[in-house]
């Protein structure tokens, strides 16, 4: 690249920065003008943005950019003069906006794109803008797709002053600097360690205080000894003893004064070091935090353009777009939020004629709200459409053989909506290219779980589907409740704790082998945390009258975990576990307390699954009894691995009714962890599951020296010969298609593989 090309590339980068900034203003303003064509403040904002882009393009010698911006400016001037802006005008202006962004970010980084390959597009957009300005309304041309980075929405954008060639920040005097993301992460990790290390000063200061108190006692003892010697000795020996003691006392007194001075200095240093370490960490953490609006780039345009393509006028309303969130979570949210918004437009918003017949406004509305709540990020997405047809959902569940008609008829709304989160589930036989209500929602749920969050669906009669996403503000630090279980420290993320309480043993009730206590009139199942973690119970914990309990879960899945001790609230710096360990059951990460004590941070969703498995297997009371009981003709044990609650329960009840001892796992990773911890005679697994599919689970079993002889049966909806061959090649002993599934077929296959329930 010669010097002239280098200069052109540098100038193009300056224009790209200007385009990124001004296109945000244009997108926000034009979308607002589409809903209120005569808004003078929005017209003024768009005029200034187009004028700034025209000037910037002229400075860097981009003639194509000058022409497009000038044509847009002419159209906006006409609108200021009274010409009404029709949807066709907005389409053309948005097309010009996208083209200006493409000129700033040309394909292949070619500075001459606007004068060569892109010239035809530029001429077409200018011609369309000119004809519209003249009052004609030619057929709508497809909107030129915007290159990455996509245009962003600035909600409620007001009049904006022209920006210089460098992108403006909120503070015009703020200096912008590019920093490598890995370097920023390392800075945050080091500042977190510095904050932890600074807390070591406090116990050291306490030890100095203790030494000072001991020295004060030594001074008092010296005074007592001096007085005793004076009273006991005669006059001849008093002088020498008094002199020696006086010298000793002077030395102790000098040491006491020096220690007091050093201790005061140390206390001041401790205060400053702790405060500076905290400020350093907060500043490093703040550098990772971004407003949520940075991750909502182009969503308003996407909703509007998709609605236009489907013949549905619809707009996006944003609230709380300035809410601060961790950069990593912001990146992880991009695809899931876009998917939920597309679903809302495609399947939630009704056609205009249907909305009119129902007395609704012709234009639909999709709302995205964000706010901080109890140290967590809460995002709500809902629309004013028809919502999910629950009866159609029931029919889809039965049609896909996920439940019988009787079972589906008894399901509550919450249970029905949970089926939308199953992998591959759709209410349609043919899925739209745009979206399918349920298709991809499992990916949304997986992302939420991956960042230690939760996803909930609700719906009110006659209203649209409502998604609730609750996420941590950052993945780098977590506020926790520290507890002790079997002599070791564990931490619950505080955002996932419903209540920390103490339950009297007299209030713990036993019902059908399960134990529970009542809170606010509701029975809450009680499980020992030591049992969940497969750790020995401590005698001290069983002797106390009060049982410390941590209540976790949501909706109908609420449980109490009995722990040994509550250690209080702690702010912990999250340390990922070594990758070599894989996914550790019930554990999300590790950390260190202020005094350096290692702590394991619970994966609450995993813990809930482990508790539900113990409950469903009826092993809440029997775990410790099994070890003491004689092993008399034990029932053969079967592990059922399936991510569908309905399928798991169906197979569990079927096998348990025949006398088999059945355990369940919610996916392949959970199944693999269970297999490494407990002995089984047979594994029955699905194929399509999150985290680890059935094929990978079978491969791992066959590669493990201790498990390779374990019989494995695959039960899958996939009934194609190539799918059957994949399962058998991986090492499965039997392949059963769910499409032809019936009770006798499963029981006959199990009996063929391992015999009757009892030997």
- Return d(Cα 646, Cα 418) in angstroms, integer: 11
For position 366, what pLDDT does the model report? 93
Residues 196-219 pLDDT 10s? 667 667 777 777 777 777 777 777
Choice among 68-77, 272-281, 391-400 with the minimum mean pLDDT: 272-281
Look at residue 432 and tell me whether its pLDDT is greater than 70: no
Look at residue 490 and tell me whether its pLDDT is greater than 90: yes
For position 619, what pLDDT does the model report? 66
Residue 274 pLDDT grade (very low, low, confident, very high; cuts 50, 70, 90): confident
For position 10, what pLDDT does the model report? 63
Residue 135 pLDDT grade (very low, low, confident, very high; cuts 50, 70, 90): very low
Strand order in the sheet with 587-592: 565-573, 477-485, 488-493, 598-602, 587-592
- Return d(Cα 182, Cα 513) in angstroms, integer: 52
Q: Which residue would you say has higher pLDDT here, 689 or 142?
A: 689
Question: Which pairs count as long-range contacts for 435-440, CB under 8 Å and 24+ apart, including other chains?
Answer: 435/339, 435/342, 435/343, 435/346, 435/347, 436/343, 436/347, 437/343, 437/347, 437/388, 437/465, 440/339, 440/343
For position 7, what pLDDT does the model report? 41
For position 330, what pLDDT does the model report? 85
For position 166, what pLDDT does the model report? 34
Q: Which residue would you say has higher pLDDT here, 28 or 208?
A: 28
For position 552, what pLDDT does the model report? 92
For position 540, what pLDDT does the model report? 52
How many of the other CB atoms lie within 10 Å of CB of 657?
A: 12
| Two tokens, residue 223 | 């005074």
For position 249, what pLDDT does the model report? 77
Residue 709 pLDDT grade (very low, low, confident, very high; cuts 50, 70, 90): confident
**Mean pLDDT within 138-163:** 36
Q: Which residue would you say has higher pLDDT here, 272 or 622?
A: 272
Residues 156-199 pLDDT 10s? 333 333 333 333 334 444 555 666 667 777 777 777 667 766 76
**Mean pLDDT within 564-579:** 82
Beta bridge partners of 599: 591
**Which of these, 469, 496, 441, 298, lies nearest to 382 by C-alpha position?**
469
Residue 151 pLDDT grade (very low, low, confident, very high; cuts 50, 70, 90): very low
- Return d(Cα 220, Cα 222) in angstroms, integer: 5
Look at residue 749 and tell me whether its pLDDT is greater than 90: no
- Return d(Cα 155, Cα 158) in angstroms, integer: 9
Residues 317-329 pLDDT 10s? 999 888 888 888 8
For position 706, what pLDDT does the model report? 81
Residue 368 pLDDT grade (very low, low, confident, very high; cuts 50, 70, 90): very high
| Two tokens, residue 161 | 């002053």
For position 542, what pLDDT does the model report? 54
Q: Where are the alpha helices (DSSP H) in 146-200?
A: 181-198
Residues 242-258 pLDDT 10s? 777 777 777 777 777 77
| Two tokens, residue 495 | 């955002």
For position 147, what pLDDT does the model report? 36
* Three-state secondary-structure class, residue 24: helix
Does residue 337 contact residue 441 with C-beta atoms inside 8 Å? no
Look at residue 740 and tell me whether its pLDDT is greater than 70: no
Give residue 438's region: left, alpha or beta (phi > 0; psi -120 to 50): left
For position 478, what pLDDT does the model report? 79
**Which of these, 609, 329, 370, lies nearest to 467 by C-alpha position?**
370
């Amino acid at each position: 690249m010669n010097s002239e090309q280098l200069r052109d590339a540098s100038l193009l980068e300056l224009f790209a920065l200007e385009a990124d900034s001004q296109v945000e203003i244009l997108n926000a303003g034009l979308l607002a003008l589409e809903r209120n064509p005569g808004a003078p403040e929005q017209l003024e904002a768009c005029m200034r943005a187009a004028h700034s882009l025209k000037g910037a393009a002229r400075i860097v010698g981009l003639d194509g950019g000058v022409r497009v911006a000038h044509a847009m400016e002419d159209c906006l001037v006409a609108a200021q003069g009274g010409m009404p802006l029709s949807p066709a005008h907005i389409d053309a202006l948005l097309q010009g906006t996208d083209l200006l962004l493409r000129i700033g970010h040309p394909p292949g980084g070619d500075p001459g794109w606007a004068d060569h390959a892109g010239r035809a597009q530029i001429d077409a957009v200018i011609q369309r803008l000119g004809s519209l300005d003249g009052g004609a309304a030619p057929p709508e041309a497809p909107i030129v797709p915007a290159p990455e980075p996509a245009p962003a929405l600035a909600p409620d954008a007001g009049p904006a002053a022209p920006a210089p060639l460098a992108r403006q920040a909120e503070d015009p005097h703020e200096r912008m600097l590019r920093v490598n993301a890995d370097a920023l992460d390392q800075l945050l990790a080091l500042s977190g360690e510095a904050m932890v290390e600074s807390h070591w000063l406090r116990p050291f200061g306490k030890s100095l205080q203790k030494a000072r108190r001991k020295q004060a006692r030594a001074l008092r003892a010296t005074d007592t000894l001096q007085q005793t010697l004076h009273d006991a000795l005669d006059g001849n020996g008093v002088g020498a003893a008094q002199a020696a003691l006086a010298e000793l006392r002077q030395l102790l007194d000098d040491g006491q004064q020096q220690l007091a001075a050093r201790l005061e200095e140390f206390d001041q240093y401790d205060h400053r070091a702790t405060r500076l370490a905290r400020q350093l960490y907060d500043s490093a953490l703040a550098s990772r935090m971004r407003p949520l609006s940075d991750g909502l780039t182009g969503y308003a345009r996407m909703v509007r353009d998709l609605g236009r393509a489907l013949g549905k006028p619809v707009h996006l309303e944003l609230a709380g777009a300035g809410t601060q969130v961790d950069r990593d979570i912001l990146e992880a949210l991009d695809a899931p939020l876009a998917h939920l918004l597309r679903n809302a437009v495609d399947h939630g918003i009704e056609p205009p004629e249907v909305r009119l017949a129902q007395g609704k406004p012709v234009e639909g509305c999709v709302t995205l709200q964000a706010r901080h709540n109890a140290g967590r990020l809460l995002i709500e997405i809902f629309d004013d459409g028809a919502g999910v047809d629950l009866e159609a959902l029931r029919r889809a569940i039965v049609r896909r053989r996920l439940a019988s008609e009787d079972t589906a008829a008894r399901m509550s709304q919450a249970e029905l909506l949970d089926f939308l989160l199953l992998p591959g589930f759709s209410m349609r036989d043919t899925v739209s290219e745009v979206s399918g209500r349920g298709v991809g929602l499992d990916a949304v749920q997986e992302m939420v779980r991956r960042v230690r969050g939760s996803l909930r669906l609700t719906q009110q009669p006659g209203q649209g589907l409502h998604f609730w996403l609750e996420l941590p503000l950052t993945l780098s630090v977590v506020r926790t409740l520290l507890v002790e279980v079997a002599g070791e420290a564990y931490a619950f993320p505080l955002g996932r704790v419903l209540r920390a309480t103490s339950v009297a043993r007299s209030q713990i009730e036993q019902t059908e082998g399960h134990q529970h206590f009542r809170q606010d009139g509701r029975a809450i199942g009680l499980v020992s945390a030591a049992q969940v973690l497969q750790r020995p119970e401590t005698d001290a914990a069983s002797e106390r009258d009060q049982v410390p309990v941590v209540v976790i879960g949501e909706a109908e899945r609420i449980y109490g975990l009995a722990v040994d001790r509550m250690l209080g609230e702690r702010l912990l710096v999250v340390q990922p576990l070594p990758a070599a360990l894989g996914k550790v059951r019930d554990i999300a990460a590790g950390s260190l307390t202020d005094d350096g004590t290692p702590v394991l941070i619970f994966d609450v969703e995993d813990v809930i699954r482990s508790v539900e498995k113990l409950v469903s297997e009826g092993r809440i009371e029997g775990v410790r009894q099994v070890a003491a009981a004689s092993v008399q003709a034990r029932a053969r044990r079967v592990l059922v691995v399936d991510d569908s609650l309905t399928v798991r329960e169906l197979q569990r009840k079927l096998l348990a009714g025949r006398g088999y001892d059945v355990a369940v796992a919610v996916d392949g990773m959970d199944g693999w962890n269970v297999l490494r911890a407990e002995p089984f005679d047979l594994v029955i697994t699905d194929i399509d599951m999150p985290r680890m599919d059935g094929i990978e689970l079978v491969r791992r079993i066959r590669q493990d020296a201790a498990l390779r002889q374990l019989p494995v049966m695959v039960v899958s909806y996939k009934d194609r010969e190539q799918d059957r061959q994949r399962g058998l090649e991986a090492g499965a002993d039997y392949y059963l298609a769910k499409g032809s599934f019936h009770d006798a077929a499963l029981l006959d296959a199990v009996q063929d593989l391992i015999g009757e329930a009892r030997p």
